[in-house]
Amino acid sequence: MNDKVTIEEIEKWASKLDDVSENVEIFDTRGESMLGNMRAYISDSQHFKQQGDLVRSFEALVWAWAIFEICSELGVFNQKSTEDE
């Protein structure tokens, strides 16, 4: 059982979130605000990681993923398809 947060795990998920946040298609003005919030949590994660607080760093990534998933479900924004590039 893995009950510890590692830097490698944080970096893996942060990298995936960076990719997602850079390839978001915004559908309305709420999306701009929510994308800003998502990116703020990604930034917070980096700050906590630099401070050595790996649990808070990982928690911030979880919040960022939650924002992405909820906004995608509500049609506020979504990840661009590779065909859009």
Give pairs for 42-49: CB < 8 Å, separation 24+.
42/14, 42/17, 42/18, 45/10, 45/14, 46/14, 49/7, 49/10
Q: Is position 2 within any domain? A: no
pLDDT in tens, 24-38: 999 988 999 999 999
Which residues, listed in sequence order, are joined to residue 79 by a DSSP beta bridge? Answer: 24
Q: Is position 84 within any domain? A: no
Residue 80 confidence (pLDDT):
82
Q: Is position 43 within any domain? A: yes
Domains identified in the chain, total number? 1
Q: Which residue range forms the structural domain that includes residue 46?
A: 7-75
Element (H, E) at 77: strand 77-79
Q: Could you give phi then psi for residue 24, rounded to 5 degrees?
A: -105, 135
Name the percent of the chain lying above pLDDT 70: 93
Q: Is position 81 within any domain? A: no
Q: Is position 42 within any domain? A: yes
Most confident of 26-30, 59-63, 79-83: 59-63
Mean pLDDT of 11-34: 92
Q: What is the CATH number of the domain that holds 15?
A: 1.20.1270.90
